[in-house]
Structure 1
Amino acid sequence: MTTPSEPGDGRLDPSLSAIMSERRQLINLAYRLLGSLADAEDVVQETYARWYAMSRRQQETIESPGAWLTTVASRICLDLLGSARARREHYVGAWIPEPLPDRTEWTTGRPGGATVDPADRVTLDESVNMAFLVVLESMTPAERVAFILHDVFRYSFAEVAEIVGRTPAACRQLASSARRRIRTSQDPSATPAAQRADIVRNFKQAWEAKDIDALISLLAPDATGIADGGGLVSAELDPIDGGEQIARILVDLARKAPDLTILERTVNGQPGLVAQQDGVTAVVMAFDVVGDRIKRIWAVRNPEKLRPWTTG
C-alpha cells in the first residue's frame, strides 16, 4: 500500500509504515471495547480516515501518531458504546460478543475465504475469553473504556483521563468499579486448561451420541445456555436454565439435524465447539467451565458474527 506525501509529487509517505504498524493494536483495542469485530474494523477504518484527512503539516505537529490514533479510536468506541447499548436493548434474543477463531483459522468471510492479514487478527488472551467479554457488556461505556485502557493496555490514568474526558481520579474510580464487576463474576474454582479441553471434548462426544445422561453429568445443575441468533426465528430467545433442560434441547437438535458435524475449535482462546452443516459454520459455542462441570454455554448463530470462521 502506498500513499503520496503530497498530491502529484510522486514521493511516498515515509510515515506510512509507522502509522500502519499501529493497525493491530487498534483492532485489538476496539474489539475488546466493542465486542464486535465488524464494529472494530469500522472504527479502525474511520480512525485512519481522520488521520489522512489532515494535511501533512498537521500530521507533523503530532508528537506521537500512535497515541493520537489510540485516542481517536477510543473516543469513537466510547461514542459507539452508548448507541450500541440502545441497539442491543432492541436486539431479538440475547446479544453475545462476536466469537473469534484461533489465529490460524481466520478468513475474510468473502468469496474464496482468503486468509485475513495478520494485522487484522485479535490477540487471543484472557481479556477476550467469552466470560470476560460478557462481563464487560454489563459495564457502563466509561467503565469499560477506562478499565480496558488501564488494566489491559497499561495506559496511565492521566492518559485515560485525556481520552475519556474525565479527571484521573474519576478514571481510577471507573476502573475500580469495573474490577469489582470482574471479581464478582469470577468463580474461585479455576479449571486447568487441559481439564477444560477434556470436558468440552467429552461434551462433544456425548452430544454426538445423543446421550442425555452423559450430557447432564457434564453440566452443572444450574447451568445456563444462551443463544444469539441475530433475530433468527429458530433461535432460543430466552436463556435456557438447568443442565437437564440444556441436555434435552441439544439432543433434540441433534436428532432434527442428523447431518450436523461437530468440531473441536478454539473460541476466543478457550476450548469450544463449532457445528457445521454442508461444510458451512452454523453455530459457534463457547463454554465457561467451573470445577469439573460446564456452568455456561454461549451459542452464536448470527451469520454476521460468523464471518471469520473457516467454511469447510
Structure 2
Amino acid sequence: MADRSTDVFVAHRNLLFTIAYEMLGSAADAEDVLQETWLRWVDVDLDEVQNHRAYLVRITTRQALGRLRTLGRRKESYVGSWLPEPLLTAPDVAEDVELADNVSMAMLLVLETLAPTERAVFVLREVFDLAYGEIAEAVGKSPAAVRQIAHRAREHVAARRPRGPVSRAETRDAVAAFQHAIETGDLRRLLDILSPDVVLLGDGGGIKQAVPNPIVGADRVARLLAAGLANLATATHAPAQVNGYPALTVHFDGALDTVLALRIDDGLITGIYAVRNPEKLSHMAEETSLRR
C-alpha cells in the first residue's frame, strides 16, 4: 500500500506543488505544504478514494490555505517590499502560455491582493479548471458560494493583470535591451524601454540592501539602475527563464545576487521586480517543473 500511495503522490507531485506555489508565492512554503499533504495522504485508504487527483488537490488546498493565513501575518513584519520567490523554470513552462502567465511574478503579485479563499478559488478555477463542486470541497464552501467568489476574484484580477498578451519574442527582446542598457549605463536607452509609470520593487528581506519602498517613474527608475548596477565592475548579467518568462540574473564573483523579473505591457517595461533576499534564491539553482 505504501508503494502505491507513493506512486500516486509522485505522479501528481508537480501539479500539487504548482497549486501550492501559486497560492503562496513561496517555493519553500509550497514544499512544506507538500510534506504535510504527504503525511496525510499515507494514512488514506486508496480503495476508498474514487478520484486520487481530486483528493490530493483537496488536501493540498486546505494545507495551503492554512499556510497562506500564517504567511499573511508574517508579511506584516517583513522588512521592505515582499516579492514572490523566483523559480528557474523548465522550458515546457514557457511553452504553456497560460501557465506561464499565471505563475509570472506580475500575476503572483496580483494574486497577493486577493483574500486567501478568493486566491484559492481563482487558482483552482481559472488556472486548473476544476469544477465548482471540487473547489467547494477543497475550500469548505458551497458550490453557489464558490461561484460568487470566483466571479468576484475574476473581476478583481482582470482589473489588475497585464493589459494584454505579450509574445515570447517581445519579452525576450525587452530583456535583451534592458540587459544592454544597464550594462552600458545607457540612460537614454533605459528611458526608451521603460514605461512612464514603471514601478521598481526590491526585496532584500532585511538581509540584503534593497529599495525600501516602490520607485515609480521612468526617470527615477532609470537613474537608479544606471547608477547602481552598471557601475559595479564585478557584476555579470545573464538571461534566465524565471517563472516561465525571460528575466535577468545578476552575479557577483560568480554567486547569484539578484533576480530581475520584468513585467511588459504594450512593448514597454512596466514592472521590475528585484529579488535579493538570499533565502528566496535557492530555487534558482536548478529548474523547477510546474504542471497543470
TM-score, length of structure 1 as denominator length:
0.84
User: Could you tell me which residue of structure 2 aligns to residue 42 of structure 1?
Assistant: 32
State the SS of the aligned residue for 1:178.
helix
User: Which of the pair has the greater relative contact order for Cα pairs under 8 Å at 6+ separation?
Assistant: 2
- Following superposition, the deviation at residue 256 of structure 1 comes to 4.7
Deviation >4 Å, runs of 4+: none
Assess if the C-alpha contact under 8 Å between 2:17 and 2:30 holds in 1.
Answer: yes
User: Could you tell me which residue of structure 2 aligns to residue 267 of structure 1?
Assistant: 242
For these two proteins, the number of residue pairs brought into alignment is 280
Asked if 1:222 corresponds to 2:209, the answer is no
Identity of aligned residues (%): 38
Asked if 1:246 corresponds to 2:233, the answer is no
State the SS of the aligned residue for 1:236.
coil
Q: Which stretch of structure 1 is more off in the superposition, 60-69 or 229-238? A: 60-69
Task: Note the aligned Cα RMSD (angstroms).
Answer: 1.9
Assess if the C-alpha contact under 8 Å between 1:124 and 1:268 holds in 2.
Answer: no
- Following superposition, the deviation at residue 190 of structure 1 comes to 4.0
User: Could you tell me which residue of structure 2 aligns to residue 29 of structure 1?
Assistant: 19
Runs (5+) with no aligned partner, structure 2:
92-97, 287-292
Question: Structure 2 residue aligned with 1:63, among 38, 50, 61?
Answer: 50
User: Could you tell me which residue of structure 1 aligns to residue 107 of structure 2?
Assistant: 132
State the SS of the aligned residue for 2:284.
coil
| 1:115-139 CA-partner distances (Å, limit 9, x unpaired) | xxxxxxxx95221011111110000
- Following superposition, the deviation at residue 156 of structure 1 comes to 0.8
Question: Structure 1 residue aligned with 2:80, among 73, 93, 97?
Answer: 93
- Following superposition, the deviation at residue 223 of structure 1 comes to 0.9
| 1:94-121 CA-partner distances (Å, limit 9, x unpaired) | 11111111326xxxxxxxxxxxxxxxxx
Question: Structure 2 residue aligned with 1:290, among 247, 265, 268?
Answer: 265
Q: Amino acid of the residue matched to residue 150 of structure 2?
A: A
User: Could you tell me which residue of structure 2 aligns to residue 299 of structure 1?
Assistant: 274
Runs (5+) with no aligned partner, structure 1:
6-11, 105-122
| 1:259-298 CA-partner distances (Å, limit 9, x unpaired) | 1001111211112100011111100011111123211111
User: Could you tell me which residue of structure 2 aligns to residue 116 of structure 1?
Assistant: none
Q: 1:220 to 1:73 in 2, by over 3 A?
A: same
Q: 1:233 to 1:186 in 2, by over 3 A?
A: closer
Question: Structure 1 residue aligned with 2:131, among 143, 149, 156?
Answer: 156
Q: 1:292 to 1:150 in 2, by over 3 A?
A: closer
| 1:10-38 CA-partner distances (Å, limit 9, x unpaired) | xx734432232121111111111111111
User: Could you tell me which residue of structure 1 aligns to residue 290 of structure 2?
Assistant: none
Asked if 1:210 corresponds to 2:185, the answer is yes
Question: Structure 1 residue aligned with 2:67, among 73, 80, 86?
Answer: 80
State the SS of the aligned residue for 1:230.
coil
Distance 2:282 2:25 in 1: 14
Distance 1:220 1:19 in 2: 45
State the SS of the aligned residue for 1:214.
helix
| 1:169-203 CA-partner distances (Å, limit 9, x unpaired) | 11111111111122111354544321221122111
Distance 1:296 1:210 in 2: 19
Distance 1:28 1:264 in 2: 23
User: Could you tell me which residue of structure 2 aligns to residue 195 of structure 1?
Assistant: 170
Distance 1:240 1:231 in 2: 18
Q: 1:59 to 1:196 in 2, by over 3 A?
A: closer
TM-score, length of structure 2 as denominator length:
0.90
Assess if the C-alpha contact under 8 Å between 2:198 and 2:271 holds in 1.
Answer: yes
Q: Amino acid of the residue matched to residue 166 of structure 1?
A: K
| 1:231-262 CA-partner distances (Å, limit 9, x unpaired) | 13521110011111111111221355211001
Q: Amino acid of the residue matched to residue 40 of structure 1?
A: A
| 1:65-93 CA-partner distances (Å, limit 9, x unpaired) | 33222111100111111111111121111
